[in-house]
Structure 1
Amino acid sequence: MLSAGQVRRGLAAGGASLAVIGVLVGLPTGALLGLAPASPAAPLFDAYTLNLLRFTLLQAALSTFLSVVLALPVALALARRSAFVGRIWIIRLMAVPMGLPVLIGALGLIGIFGRQGLVNRLLAMVGVDQPVNIYGLSGILLAHVFFNLPLACRLMLAGLERLPAEDWRLAASLGLGRLSLLRHVELPALARVLPGAAGLIFMLCATSFTLVLVLGGGPAATTLEVAIYQSLRFDFDPARAIALSLLQIALTGLVLTLLSRLPPAEASRGEGRAPRRFDGQGPAGRLADALVILLATLFLLLPLGSVVMAGLRADLLRLVALPAFHQALFTSLAIALAAGLLALLLACGILAAQAAIADRRHPSRLLAAFGRLLSAVSSLVLLVPPVVLGTGWFLLVRPHADVTRAAPLLIAAINMLMALPFVMRVLAPAFESHRLRTGRLAASLKITGLARLRLIDAPVLTRPLLMALSFAMALSLGDLGAVALFGSQDLVTLPWLVYSRLGSYRTQDADGLALLLGLLCLALTALGTAGHRREP
C-alpha cells in the first residue's frame, strides 16, 4: 500500500517521462508535418518514391518469408531434441545476432559471402567463378535472414514448448505419424505465435538502415530510410527528406497498428509437467534433425568467426594507438552512457507511475487512460524510426543553431528512445515482482524514502538496473542510424569510424575496429548479466 505522497510522486514521475518522450518525438514529427506543405518540389508519390516504397515492402516481405520458412524446421528440430548435449548453447547462440551491432554482422557476412569470401573461394576451387553476389537485394535478404532467423526460431520454439505434456501423450496413444503430428499438434501451436513473429520481423526489415546502407549496392536497392539519409547527407534536399519521412512514419504506423491487433500468445494448458515427446526417435529422424541444427548453427557461427579471424589479422595494437580510435571510443562511450542513463531514468518514472496506478483498487477513468498510455509508450517510440527522428531534429535545429554542436545531445536522445523498449522489457518484470513481494511489508513497517531505497529496493533492483543499462549502452554503441546524419570530422563514433574505413576500402582496419567494437559490446553485456546464474 503506497502512501498518498508516494502515489503523487509516482504519477509525477510518469508524467515527466511522458512529457520528455513527447517532446523528443513530437517536436521533430511536428517539424516534418509543418514543413510538408511548404515543400511542393517533392511530390509524395512520384515514380522515384513509388520505387522506393515498392522495394522497401518487397525486401521486407521476402526477408520475413525467408526468415520464418527457414526458421520453421530449425525450431521443430530443436523442440524434438530437448536433451542433446549443447542444445542450450545453440539457443544462446541465437540470441547473439539480436544483440550484435548490425554493422559487425554485415562485415561478417561479407567475409563469408563476399567477392573474396569463404563461399566464393570454395566455389572457385571447384571451377565456379564467384557466382555469389552479396550486394543488392540478395545481400539484403541474406543479412536480414541472419539477424531474424534466430528471432523467429526462438519465438516458435517458445510456442512449441508451451504445449502441455498431455498433447504429446495423446498424440503418441493415437499413433499419429510425422505429417499428422505436424498438422494437428505443431502447426496449431505455431499459428498462435507466427503472426506476431512475422509482423515483428517485417517491422524490423521495413525500417532497416545499416544493412541496406552497407549491402544495398546502389539506387536499385535502396529503402525509404536510406533514401532519407541520402537526401539530407549528400543531396541536401530537405523537401525530399520530409516527403520520404512522412511516408516512412505512415508505413511504420500501419505496421504497428496491425501488430497491436494480433491476439496475445496463449498461456500453457495442462498439468505443468515437462513434456516428453515420442516422435522422431528413429535413426533417419535423428539424422535429419541433427543436419538441420548443424546447418543453422554454421550459418550463425561462420560470420561471427569471420569477424574474429579478420579482426585478428588486423594490426590491433596500431589501431588502438590511433588518436582517431581514442576520439571515437570516448565519444561512443559518452553518448552510450548518456543514452543509457536517460533510458533508465525515463523507464523508472514510467514504472513508478504504473505502480501508483496499480495500487489503486478502482482508478478513475483518467488514471486508467494514463496507465494505458504508459503501457503503450514503448510502441509509440517505435513509430518514428531513428533516421526520421534525426531528419526532423536536423530541420528543426538548423535554422536556429549549429547542428554540429547539438549533435551529441541529439544522438544520445535518439539512441535513448530506441533503447527504451528494451530497457522497459528488462525492468518491468523485476519492478513488478519486487513491488508485489515487498510493498505491503514495507508499508506495514512504515519504511519509506531513502531508508526503503537503501534497505529494500537497492539490494534487489541494482542487478536488473545494471543489466538494462548495459543493454542500452551496447545498443547505443552499435548504432549507425543517428550518427549517419550528424557525424562529422569532429563527431566520430566507433560504428561511423568502421563504416568510413570500409567506404575508403581500408577493409583490414575496418575488420580490426569491428572486432574491437564487438568485444566492447560483449563486455558490456557480460557485465550487465554478471552474477545472473547465482541469483536465487
Structure 2
Amino acid sequence: MIRGRPGLVAAILVAAALLLPLTAVAWRAEAWTGLAPRDWGALRFTLWQAAVSAALSVLAAIPVARALARRRFPARGAVILLLGAPFILPVIVAVLGLVAVFGRSGVVNAALAAVGVDPVSIYGAHGVILAHVFFNMPLATRLILQGWLAIPGERLRLAASLGFSARDTFRRLELPMLRSILPGVFLVIFLICTTSFAVALALGGGPGATTVELAIYRAFRFDFDLGRAALLGAVQLFVGGVAALLSLRLALPSGFGAGLDRAVPRWDSAGLGLRVQDGAAIVAACLFLLVPMILVLAEGAFHLGALTRSVWAAALRSLVVALVAAGLTTALALAMAYTATTWRRGGVVEIIGTLSIAASPLVLGTGLYILLLPVVNPVRLAIPVTILVNVLLALPFALRTLIPAMRVLHDDWHRLSASLGMHGLTWLRLVALPRLARPAGFAAGLTAALAAGDLGVIALFASPDQATLPLALYQLMGSYRMEEAKAAALVLVILSLGLFWAFERGGRHAAPA
C-alpha cells in the first residue's frame, strides 16, 4: 500500500500555500504605521454585522429546526434538502434574488407603493444583514436540527410518561441541548459573516457599511496600497482565527446520556396550536428561501438570448476553474485522508488540511499578489490563483467528507489487501477508489459548485478579458443591466448545481452496489 508519503507531500504543499501568502501579508504590513479611522470603522462594522447576522440567523432557525424535529410530513425530506441549497448557491445570484424581492422595483416595494408607504432600500447595513440571514439561517437550522435529533428517544418517552407539556419538555430537555450547541453555531456563522465579501460588495460599500474584506479589496484594487491591504488582512486573519478557536471551545455539555436512536412520536406537541405554529415556521422559511430564487431564475429564462459573447466566455472560464479545482481538491483530500488515517502522526495532516477554514480569500489573494509581483505580472495568473485559493478553501470540507470513509475502508480492507499483496496504484484502483467513489464524488461536486460561484480573488486580479461568470454578473448588476444579469444568474445556477449533481451522481454510480 501507499506508505503515506503522497499525503505528507500534499500536506506540506498545502501548508506552504497557506503560510507563504500569510507570511507575505504579515511582512508587508510592517510598512504601515496603523489603521486609519475608516479602517477602524470597517472593523467595527464587520464585528457588529457579523454578531447581529449570527444572532438573527440562530433565532430564526430555532423554531424551524424544532418544527422539523417534531413533525413528520410527506415533503419533510425535500424541505431539509432545500435548507442545504444556499450553501451551494452562488452568493451573487442570491444577492440578485434578494434585490428582486426587496430592491427599488422589487415585490416588497411594489406592495408598499400600492398602500402609499415609502419604499425601503436593501442597500446598506440592513441589506448586508438580510443577505447573511438568508445564507446562514438554513445552515443554523441544519446544525440545530442535528442537536434536536440527538436527544435520546428514551428521554422523550420518559417525559411523555411523566405528563410533560411542550413547555416542560422544552425547559427540561430541549433547552439544555440548545445551551450546548448554540454557542458553537453562533460562532461558526459569525466566522462566515466576518469573511463575507460578495454580499458586502453588492449590498454594502457605503461609509457605514464597509467590512474589512471590502476595505482590503478597495485598498488593493483602487488605491493599490499594499501596506494597508496587508495590515487589514492581518486584522481579518486575527478576527477569523479567534472566532474559529472560540467556536471549538465554547460549546457547553448538555448532560445527556446515550440513547438507542429510536424515532419517538412527540406526544407533547399534538395540539392544534402547536401544529399551526410549526407549520407556519416551516412555510415562512421555505418562502424566504424560494421566492428570491424563483423571481430571478424565472425572469432570467426570458433573457438568455440577450447574453453577449463575453458572458458566455466568462461562463467557460468558470467551468474550467470549477473542474480543475474539483480535481485538485479531491486528489489532495484523498492523499491527505489516507495519511491521516494510517500514519501514526496523521492528526497533523488533518489539522493542516483544516487550517484554511479560518483564512480569508482576499487575505490569501493579497499575499499571493505580494509574492508574485517581483517575479511576474499577477494579473496574468488570475485564473490559476483563483483555482489555488478555491482549492485551499474547499479542502476542509472535502477532508471532513473523506476521512471518515477512509477510516472505514482501512479498517475493513487493510489486512486483506496486505495479504493479497495489493499495493500502490493496484490497491488504489481495485480497492480504494470504488469504495470511496461516493464521498469523493460529493467532495468534488461541492468544490466545483463553490468554485464556479466564487466571487473573491478573481475580483482582485482579473482584467476585463479574464472575468469569470460571477464577476461578469456583478459587472452587469453594476451597469444596471438587470435583465442580462438575471439571465447570467440562471446560467450560473445551472452551472453550479449541474456540476454538483454530475459529480455527486457519478460518485454514486461508481460506488459498488
Q: Aligned to 2:347, what secondary structure does the other structure show? A: helix
Match of 1:129 among 114, 118, 132: 118
Partner of 2:439: 464
Partner of 1:341: 327
> Does the aligned pair in 1 maintain the 2:25–2:233 contact within 8 Å?
yes
In the alignment, the residues of structure 2 paired with residue 311 and residue 237 of structure 1 have an alpha-carbon distance, to the nearest angstrom, of 39
In the alignment, the residues of structure 1 paired with residue 439 and residue 281 of structure 2 have an alpha-carbon distance, to the nearest angstrom, of 35
Q: Aligned to 1:447, what secondary structure does the other structure show? A: coil
User: Map of 1:86-97 to 2, 5 A cutoff?
Assistant: 86-97=75-86
Asked if residue 450 in structure 1 is aligned to residue 436 in structure 2, the reply is: no
Q: Aligned to 1:219, what secondary structure does the other structure show? A: coil
> Does the aligned pair in 1 maintain the 2:337–2:350 contact within 8 Å?
no
User: Map of 1:74-223 to 2, 5 A cutoff?
Assistant: 74-81=64-71, 83-130=72-119, 132-223=120-211
In the alignment, the residues of structure 2 paired with residue 313 and residue 119 of structure 1 have an alpha-carbon distance, to the nearest angstrom, of 22
Partner of 2:415: 440
Match of 2:212 among 205, 224, 232: 224
Asked if residue 248 in structure 1 is aligned to residue 233 in structure 2, the reply is: no
What is the CA-CA distance between 1:239 and the residue it aligns to? 2.0
Query: Gapped runs of 5+ residues in structure 2?
Result: none
Query: Cα distance 1:397–1:448, how it changes in 2: closer, same or farther (>3 A)?
Result: closer
What is the CA-CA distance between 1:259 and the residue it aligns to? 2.0
Code of the aligned partner of 2:482: T
In the alignment, the residues of structure 2 paired with residue 27 and residue 533 of structure 1 have an alpha-carbon distance, to the nearest angstrom, of 37
Code of the aligned partner of 2:25: L
Match of 1:25 among 14, 18, 22: 18
Aligned length: 510
Query: Cα distance 1:301–1:382, how it changes in 2: closer, same or farther (>3 A)?
Result: same
Query: Cα distance 1:137–1:383, how it changes in 2: closer, same or farther (>3 A)?
Result: same
In the alignment, the residues of structure 1 paired with residue 253 and residue 319 of structure 2 have an alpha-carbon distance, to the nearest angstrom, of 38
Q: Deviations over 1:52-86 (max 9, x none)?
A: 111000000000110001111111111121x2121
In the alignment, the residues of structure 2 paired with residue 38 and residue 297 of structure 1 have an alpha-carbon distance, to the nearest angstrom, of 50
Code of the aligned partner of 1:304: M
Asked if residue 65 in structure 1 is aligned to residue 55 in structure 2, the reply is: yes
Code of the aligned partner of 1:499: Y
In the alignment, the residues of structure 2 paired with residue 348 and residue 282 of structure 1 have an alpha-carbon distance, to the nearest angstrom, of 50
Partner of 2:266: 277
Mean CA deviation greater in 291-300 or 175-184? 175-184
What is the CA-CA distance between 1:237 and the residue it aligns to? 1.5
Q: Deviations over 1:440-465 (max 9, x none)?
A: 22122222233323322232223332
In the alignment, the residues of structure 2 paired with residue 485 and residue 268 of structure 1 have an alpha-carbon distance, to the nearest angstrom, of 51
In the alignment, the residues of structure 2 paired with residue 504 and residue 265 of structure 1 have an alpha-carbon distance, to the nearest angstrom, of 52
In the alignment, the residues of structure 1 paired with residue 393 and residue 468 of structure 2 have an alpha-carbon distance, to the nearest angstrom, of 17
In the alignment, the residues of structure 1 paired with residue 430 and residue 350 of structure 2 have an alpha-carbon distance, to the nearest angstrom, of 29
Task: Report the TM-score, using the length of structure 1 for normalisation.
Answer: 0.91
Query: Cα distance 1:142–1:263, how it changes in 2: closer, same or farther (>3 A)?
Result: closer
Match of 1:392 among 344, 351, 367: 367
What is the CA-CA distance between 1:439 and the residue it aligns to? 1.4
Asked if residue 481 in structure 1 is aligned to residue 456 in structure 2, the reply is: yes
What is the CA-CA distance between 1:355 and the residue it aligns to? 2.7
In the alignment, the residues of structure 1 paired with residue 29 and residue 73 of structure 2 have an alpha-carbon distance, to the nearest angstrom, of 58
> Does the aligned pair in 2 maintain the 1:36–1:243 contact within 8 Å?
yes
> Does the aligned pair in 1 maintain the 2:325–2:451 contact within 8 Å?
yes
What is the CA-CA distance between 1:100 and the residue it aligns to? 0.6
Code of the aligned partner of 1:238: L
What is the CA-CA distance between 1:262 and the residue it aligns to? 3.9
Q: Deviations over 1:237-292 (max 9, x none)?
A: 22211121111111111112212324598887223322221012121111111111
In the alignment, the residues of structure 2 paired with residue 451 and residue 18 of structure 1 have an alpha-carbon distance, to the nearest angstrom, of 23
Partner of 2:355: 380
Query: Gapped runs of 5+ residues in structure 1?
Result: 358-362
> Does the aligned pair in 1 maintain the 2:442–2:503 contact within 8 Å?
yes
In the alignment, the residues of structure 1 paired with residue 7 and residue 306 of structure 2 have an alpha-carbon distance, to the nearest angstrom, of 48
Match of 2:227 among 235, 239, 242: 239
Asked if residue 419 in structure 1 is aligned to residue 394 in structure 2, the reply is: yes
> Does the aligned pair in 1 maintain the 2:28–2:226 contact within 8 Å?
no
> Does the aligned pair in 2 maintain the 1:80–1:279 contact within 8 Å?
no
Query: Cα distance 1:172–1:531, how it changes in 2: closer, same or farther (>3 A)?
Result: farther
What is the CA-CA distance between 1:426 and the residue it aligns to? 2.2
> Does the aligned pair in 1 maintain the 2:205–2:214 contact within 8 Å?
no
What RMSD in Å do the two structures reach over aligned CA positions? 1.9
Code of the aligned partner of 1:459: P
Partner of 1:324: 310
Task: Report the TM-score, using the length of structure 2 for normalisation.
Answer: 0.95
In the alignment, the residues of structure 1 paired with residue 183 and residue 29 of structure 2 have an alpha-carbon distance, to the nearest angstrom, of 35
> Does the aligned pair in 1 maintain the 2:372–2:378 contact within 8 Å?
yes
Query: Cα distance 1:418–1:85, how it changes in 2: closer, same or farther (>3 A)?
Result: same
Code of the aligned partner of 1:78: L
What is the CA-CA distance between 1:329 and the residue it aligns to? 2.1
Q: Deviations over 1:436-495 (max 9, x none)?
A: 221122122222233323322232223332322221111111001110101112211000
Q: Deviations over 1:8-29 (max 9, x none)?
A: xx1x222211221122111111
In the alignment, the residues of structure 2 paired with residue 300 and residue 196 of structure 1 have an alpha-carbon distance, to the nearest angstrom, of 24
Query: Cα distance 1:533–1:268, how it changes in 2: closer, same or farther (>3 A)?
Result: farther
In the alignment, the residues of structure 2 paired with residue 531 and residue 324 of structure 1 have an alpha-carbon distance, to the nearest angstrom, of 31
Code of the aligned partner of 2:498: A
